[in-house]
């Protein structure tokens, strides 16, 4: 049972995460694979918990999330970037991209606002729509988020 | 109420759709107003959203400066160079985003701008304009569209 007795609205919550990334091995599982790297760094954090790019919410509120990375490799493949909320796949915030050539790098990014509750866990995931002999690499992955219902920014 | 009482000025809105109609600007380089009828809104705080048949209206309840973010995925419009901009109450934002469809495959793009809103009349629509600098025979499909607006001040 979540403890809500000590919760109050309008409190600070922000975070900024970065990973230099690397090869992103995608098994043929048929479901989006969470984006996670051991080399994820926290440059700024208050009232978030995280496991790589999986964010656990400690204060209920409306959150703005901004996520981006450079996609490299996997020539000729189409990918969809999804978000999971508590292991459920969200359909509303996805982005689709195509890797035109393995020699080029493309930025992929999306952002949105979502209502989140204490103990919610939200994280990005990728699925490849068609097969490719080449692996995809994710480079310079960045995730920033903050609670819009916090004091001090308005 | 005391004149010095503090009032919240915050406002935010998230709108999303995966069924934006294709944009048909074939044979014309004129900007086309994007049809946002299918946008669903959640969460919404201190905005009024009215989804009319042909002109969805997105209006804050208070004036000020707003950060606008658009995250969209597109395909089609083979090899066209596309330009996206926005206007509010007829005033065009100077911020434009340009990209090339490179064979009409799937591309993920982001548009950001800060606009000043000086009226809260719901008849003043927020619009997104999209144009093509080359004339392709293929329509532009917008496979996902996500709009977030945050009041800054």
- Please give the average per-residue pLDDT across B42-68, as a whole number: 84
Tokens 């989140």 identify what position? A116
DSSP class per residue in chain A: ----TT--SS---EEEEEEEEEEE---S-SSPEE---TT-EEEEEESEEEETTEEEESS-EEEEEEEEEEEEE-TT-EEEEEEEETTEEEEEEEEEEE---TT-EEEEEEEEEEEE-TT-EEEEEEEESS--SSPEEEEEEEEEEEETT-TT--
**Which chain A residue has its CA at the smallest distance from B152's CA?**
A154
| pLDDT of A95 | 93
Within 13 Å of residue B80, how many CA atoms lie on the same side as its CB?
Answer: 28
Q: Is the pLDDT of residue B100 over 80?
A: yes
- Choose the most confident range, by mean pLDDT, from B39-53, B67-81, B108-122: B67-81
| pLDDT of B1 | 44
Domain map (residue ranges) of chain A: 15-147
Domains of chain B: 12-151 (2.60.120.40)
CB contact under 8 A, B43 and A115: yes
Please, are residues B152 and B114 in contact by the beta-carbon 8 Å criterion? yes
- Choose the most confident range, by mean pLDDT, from A10-14, A87-91, B36-40: A87-91
pLDDT digits (tens, 9 = 90+) for A64-91: 999 999 999 888 889 999 999 999 999 8
CB contact under 8 A, B9 and A154: yes
Which residue out of A96, A138, A143, A145 would a mutagenesis test of the B interface target, given it has the greatest number of B Cβ atoms within 10 Å?
A96
Provide the β-strand partners of residue A73.
A136
**Reported ipTM exceeds the 0.85 cut:** no
Between these two residues, A23 and B91, which has the higher pLDDT value? A23
Q: How many A-B residue pairs are in contact by the CB < 8 A criterion?
A: 87
* CATH fit for domain A15-147, picks 2.60.120.40, 2.130.10.10, 3.30.300.30, 2.60.40.10: 2.60.120.40
Question: Which residues of chain B does A142 touch, with a Cβ-Cβ cutoff of 8 Å?
Answer: none
- Please give the average per-residue pLDDT across A56-70, as a whole number: 94
- Please give the average per-residue pLDDT across B79-99, as a whole number: 87
Which of B40, B45, B143 lies closest to A96 in CB terms? B143
Q: Is the pLDDT of residue B150 over 80?
A: yes
Nearest to A109 by CA among B93, B120, B97: B97
Which of A95, A112, A113 lies closest to B73 in CB terms? A95
Please, are residues B61 and B46 in contact by the beta-carbon 8 Å criterion? yes
The rounded mean pLDDT for chain A is 87
Between these two residues, B119 and B23, which has the higher pLDDT value? B23
Question: Which residues of chain B does A109 touch, with a Cβ-Cβ cutoff of 8 Å?
Answer: 71, 108, 110
Q: How far is B152 from chain A (nearest CA, A)?
A: 6
Nearest to B13 by CA among B57, B50, B49, B52: B49
| Chain centre distance of CA B33 | 9
Q: Is the pLDDT of residue A116 over 80?
A: yes
- Choose the most confident range, by mean pLDDT, from A116-130, B2-16, B27-41: A116-130
Beta strands B56-60; B40-45: pairing state? unpaired
Q: Is B11 helix (H, G, I), strand (E, B) or coil?
A: coil
Residue B8 pLDDT class (50, 70, 90 cuts): low
What does each C-alpha distance from A28 to A81, A125, A154, B63 come to in angstroms? 16, 14, 46, 50
DSSP class per residue in B79-119: T-EEEEEEEETTEEPS--EEEE-GGG--EEEEEEEEEEE--
Which of B12, B102, B152 lies closest to A113 in CB terms? B12
Q: Is the pLDDT of residue B27 over 80?
A: no
What is d(CA A147, CA A150) in angstroms, rounded to the nearest whole number? 6
**In degrees rounded to 5, what are phi and psi of residue A38?**
-65, -25
CB contact under 8 A, B144 and A148: no
- Please give the average per-residue pLDDT across A44-69, as a whole number: 94
Question: Which residues of chain A does B106 touch, with a Cβ-Cβ cutoff of 8 Å?
Answer: 78, 96-98
pTM for this entry = 0.87
My answer on whether omega of the bond before B43 falls inside 30° of 0, hence cis, is yes
Which of A64, A92, A97 lies closest to B73 in CB terms? A97
What is d(CA A1, CA A98) in angstroms, rounded to the nearest whole number? 43
CB contact under 8 A, B148 and A113: yes
Residues of A with CB under 8 A from a CB of B: 62, 64, 66, 68, 78, 81, 91-98, 100, 106-115, 148-149, 153-154
What is d(CA A93, CA A109) in angstroms, rounded to the nearest whole number? 11
Q: Is the pLDDT of residue A9 over 80?
A: no
Handedness of CA B145, B151, B152, B153 (dihedral sign): positive
């Amino acid at each position: 049972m979540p403890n809500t007795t000590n919760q109050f609205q309008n409190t600070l919550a922000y975070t900024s995460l970065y990973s230099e990334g690397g090869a992103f091995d995608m098994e043929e599982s048929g479901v989006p694979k969470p984006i996670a790297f051991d080399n994820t760094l926290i440059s700024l954090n208050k009232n978030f918990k995280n496991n790589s790019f999986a964010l656990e919410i400690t204060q209920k509120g409306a959150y703005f999330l901004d996520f981006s990375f450079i996609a490299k490799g996997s020539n000729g493949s189409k990918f969809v970037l999804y978000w999971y909320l508590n292991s459920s796949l969200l359909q509303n915030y996805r982005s689709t991209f195509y890797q035109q050539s393995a020699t080029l790098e493309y930025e992929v990014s999306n952002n949105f606002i979502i209502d989140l509750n204490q103990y919610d866990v939200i994280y990005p995931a990728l699925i490849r729509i068609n097969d490719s002999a080449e692996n995809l690499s994710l480079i310079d992955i960045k995730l920033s988020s903050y609670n819009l219902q916090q004091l001090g920014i308005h | 109420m005391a004149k010095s009482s503090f009032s919240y000025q915050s406002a935010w809105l998230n709108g999303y759709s995966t069924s934006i109609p294709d944009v048909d600007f074939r044979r014309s380089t004129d900007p086309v107003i994007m049809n946002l009828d299918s946008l669903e809104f959640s969460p919404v705080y201190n905005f009024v959203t009215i989804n009319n048949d042909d002109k969805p209206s997105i209006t804050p309840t208070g004036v000020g400066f707003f950060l606008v973010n658009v995250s969209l995925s597109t395909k089609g419009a083979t090899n066209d160079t596309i330009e996206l901009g926005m206007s509010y109450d007829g005033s065009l934002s100077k911020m434009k985003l340009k990209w090339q469809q490179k064979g009409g495959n799937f591309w993920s793009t982001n548009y950001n701008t800060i606009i000043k809103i000086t009226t809260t009349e719901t008849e003043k629509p927020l619009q997104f304009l999209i144009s093509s600098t080359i004339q392709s025979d293929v329509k532009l499909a917008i496979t996902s569209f996500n709009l977030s607006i945050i009041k800054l001040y």
